[in-house]
Amino acid sequence: MTTPTIDESPPLRLRPPRHAVDPRAVGWWSVQLGLWIAVPVVTLGVLGLLIPPARLWLLVPAGILAALGVLATVALPRLWFRHHRWEVTDEAVYTRTGWFFQEWRVAPLSRIQTVDTVRGPLEQRFGLATLTVTTASAKGAVKVEGLDAETAATLSADLTAATQATPEDAT
């Protein structure tokens, strides 16, 4: 009976990704958050003006939500900017997001199935794009949001070429 051997090579350490998202992402996130907050604030405000018996019960929450929304719109995107990181190496694409709940996502090049670049209307306005790297993972795709549009296009082309050159099957 032989004893299994243990690989003596040093373990691979996951270090923080090197690249921050584009600074314009702060503005993009601020506008997105502002729009999400504006919908219920405007709805409550209009209803408060149209329904006199419920005016106090509608305008007070609208004011509180508006104040909290302004605070969130100013603070959260700056916090997100400090904690969103990404990197593409010869072995993998990886991201780290979150401050309170941190999430690290790693997609080995050999597991990549598709590479997409998405630019919504607000992203186009800010000159940004989202790079989406899809694998067979049940968790879903690895997304790098808030990239400069040209950087995202270049990364997409480079990753497509690198995954084509990787000999393993991505299933």
Q: What was the pLDDT predicted at 9?
A: 47
In contact, 87 and 105? CB cutoff 8 Å = no
Lowest mean per-residue pLDDT among 37-41, 120-124, 164-168: 164-168
Count of domains observed in the chain: 2
Q: Is residue 138 part of a domain?
A: yes
Lowest mean per-residue pLDDT among 10-24, 39-53, 80-94, 111-125: 10-24
Same domain for 76 and 124, yes or no, is no
Which of 48, 65, 80 lies at the terminal end of a domain, its last residue? 80
Q: Is residue 14 part of a domain?
A: no
Q: What was the pLDDT predicted at 165?
A: 74
Same domain for 92 and 150, yes or no, is yes
Same domain for 76 and 92, yes or no, is no
Q: What was the pLDDT predicted at 166?
A: 67
Same domain for 51 and 94, yes or no, is no
Q: What was the pLDDT predicted at 13?
A: 64
Same domain for 55 and 90, yes or no, is no
Distance CA 116, CA 142 (A): 11
Q: What was the pLDDT predicted at 56?
A: 93
Same domain for 102 and 157, yes or no, is yes
64 — pLDDT class (breaks 50, 70, 90): very high
Q: Considering the chain, what percentage of its residues have pLDDT values greater than 70?
A: 88
pLDDT tens digits, one per residue of 104-120 = 888 888 888 999 999 99
Distance CA 147, CA 17 (A): 14
Is residue 28 pLDDT above 90, yes or no?
yes
Burial class (CB in 10 A: 0-12, 13-18, 19+), 6: exposed
In contact, 107 and 135? CB cutoff 8 Å = yes
167 — pLDDT class (breaks 50, 70, 90): low
Same domain for 107 and 71, yes or no, is no
Q: What was the pLDDT predicted at 14?
A: 67
Q: Of residues 166 and 129, which shows the higher confidence score?
A: 129
Domain of residue 42, residue span = 24-80
Same domain for 64 and 102, yes or no, is no
Same domain for 102 and 139, yes or no, is yes
Which of 80, 107, 128 lies at the terminal end of a domain, its last residue? 80
Q: What is the CATH number of the domain that holds 126?
A: 2.30.29.30
Helices 24-50 and 55-83, interaxial angle, to 10°?
Answer: 170
